[in-house]
Structure 1
């Protein structure tokens, strides 16, 4: 009977096998590193999106607590108005809640700001009204909380729905009134000058509307400060 010959690997075959194994290990390491970096990047984007959604939800809750806040526009002459200033680029208002502390009122502002690409970003800022009472329009407030809600918006503007001024609103509830007036949309609304607060704020974001409604209670609220209503 013939003998079976066992053949061993040569040195060259062993080296080739080691090179191939090294290439496989290097490819696996590169693939793992790419997967890790891609995961971290996607996770960071997801975390940022979730944080932005959380802040936006809190801001929407604050806007739902917007109310007409009476202030003095002239302390010496005891002239009253409402703490609200609306422009096409944004507005400032008062809410009974805040993002930083749900039970603390705040003055907040929503406004547009140019980004690096020339488009708009929607920015939210607030100043807590804790430890003092807001009585005057010229009070300096610490707007130390800022968040960007939306970025890279091509169309972003603000408009305001309300009565033209205090006199028009007062005439509408007067029994002697014979002229019909209706609220309108305005591109600017100064609650101090008009002596009345808007009933709605509309934010246009690329054709989509974010509507903030406020109780039409300016006359009743002002009546608590003066009998001349």
Structure 2
């Protein structure tokens, strides 16, 4: 009998019951999941914003580099085109000042097989930032002969955009006649930098062109060297006058 009672006591112990989440536990789990989702979403937002910002900066640097390369191509291939002034005297097709440049490039940016008459112009945007505009007219089937000839540019492209400042300067002789007449005993004229250079007035081309780009207190100076003996292109004209 005693053995039976002991067995009954062992089998009568209360069993552990399976129960679900309480409301408090459910709220805690829900809060943790929400916190994880919020943290993940916020991190993803930061990542995508940073990625878009870096992509934007990359695109901006790429456009700037491509614009500089196209600008280099145009200026390094500047050609000394001889035209006639209104007084019938020969001169060179080149006019440059601090914020513009008018010249001929041997290999056009829009038509690589033919020269282009081009004009570079510094423009100020409503934001106060500067941009450099390239305008061109292909010389395929078109010739520039005189000073007063009209030039209607057909195509254009912004090469440099959203910078603080852009300016040109030119290095060359004061005039063709000063350069030809300069000797050790007759030191007339000089090579110097200036913010204006006219091939019509000086009857010469500059020997160097400097482009200065300023942005966020940083300066980039690009110097292009041109042919320093372009006066040889005028020999035929002045020899004819001498005869």
Please confirm whether the aligned pair reaches a TM-score higher than 0.5, indicating the same fold: yes
The match for 1:68 is 80
Alpha-carbon distance change, 178 to 72 in structure 1, aligned in 2, over 3 angstroms: same
Task: For 1:143 and 1:190, locate their aligned partners in 2 and report how far apart those are by CA, in whole Å.
Answer: 24
1:159-195 Cα deviation digits (max 9, x unpaired): 222222222233248xxx9523442323321111222
Conserved 8 A contact 1:108-1:124 = no
The answer to which of 89-98 and 136-145 deviates more is 136-145
Conserved 8 A contact 1:160-1:200 = yes
The match for 2:32 is 20
Task: For 1:27 and 1:186, locate their aligned partners in 2 and report how far apart those are by CA, in whole Å.
Answer: 60
Task: For 2:241 and 2:228, locate their aligned partners in 1 and report how far apart those are by CA, in whole Å.
Answer: 19
Conserved 8 A contact 2:123-2:133 = no
The match for 2:241 is 228
- The structure with more radius of gyration: 2
Conserved 8 A contact 1:98-1:106 = yes
The answer to which of 177-186 and 159-168 deviates more is 177-186
Matches within 5 A, 1:1-40: 3-40=15-52
Structure 1 residue 45, shift from structure 2 partner:
2.5
Unmatched 5+ stretches in structure 1: none
Alpha-carbon distance change, 34 to 82 in structure 1, aligned in 2, over 3 angstroms: same
Task: For 1:6 and 1:224, locate their aligned partners in 2 and report how far apart those are by CA, in whole Å.
Answer: 111
Aligned-pair Cα RMSD in Å:
2.9
Unmatched 5+ stretches in structure 2: 1-9
Structure 1 residue 19, shift from structure 2 partner:
4.2
The match for 1:183 is 191
Matches within 5 A, 1:84-99: 84-99=94-109
- Counterpart of 2:193 in 1: which secondary structure? strand
TM-score for both structures, normalised by structure 2: 0.75
Task: For 2:91 and 2:174, locate their aligned partners in 1 and report how far apart those are by CA, in whole Å.
Answer: 14
Tell me the matched-pair count: 222
TM-score for both structures, normalised by structure 1: 0.79
Structure 1's consecutive aligned runs of 4 or more residues displaced over 6 angstroms after TM superposition are none
Task: For 1:16 and 1:163, locate their aligned partners in 2 and report how far apart those are by CA, in whole Å.
Answer: 84
Alignment of 1:83 onto 2:93: yes
Conserved 8 A contact 2:70-2:159 = no
Alignment of 1:142 onto 2:149: no
Matches within 5 A, 1:190-205: 190-205=198-213
